[in-house]
Amino acid sequence: QVQLVESGGGLVQAGGSLRLSCAASGRTFSSGAMGWFRRAPGKEREFVATISRSGGITSYADSVKGRFTISRDNAKNTVYLQMNSLKPEDTAVYYCAFSFFGYTDSSPQRFGSWGQGTQVTVSS
């Protein structure tokens, strides 16, 4: 089991930036893909981004493409989400997740471990 702890959330004005981090425990971190998801108030959880175990393959939701960047540092057991040009509609609780697949698509069912989430609020 991989345990995940997110950090870096907060309040930012529209157009600003935030960098989320997700620290993982356990030796299996580098063997699996990682993903970021979010849940806005009153809405379903939605996919944001995923990255393969090596970091060589990434994919993004259309709503964040060109503004968000997912990356990982396997030596530090950490995955990041750099968020630029933030919009009020990006306001949500952001969750990182671990998958035992080396690469995966956006299906939440393929992720076996989840963090507790970090709040991101973008003011207009």
Provide the token pair at 85.
């040009």
pLDDT, averaged across the chain: 95
So what's the pLDDT on residue 93? 98
Side chain identity, residue 86? L
State percent of the chain over pLDDT 90. 89
Residue 105 has pLDDT above 90, yes or no: no
SS3 (DSSP) at 21: strand
Degrees to nearest 5, angle at CA 56 with 46 and 7? 50
pLDDT in tens, 40-73: 999 999 999 999 999 999 999 999 999 999 999 9
Phi-psi region of 38 (alpha: psi -120 to 50; beta: other; left: phi over 0): beta
- pLDDT bracket for residue 104 (50, 70, 90): confident
Residue 27 has pLDDT above 80, yes or no: no
R_g over Cα of the chain: 13
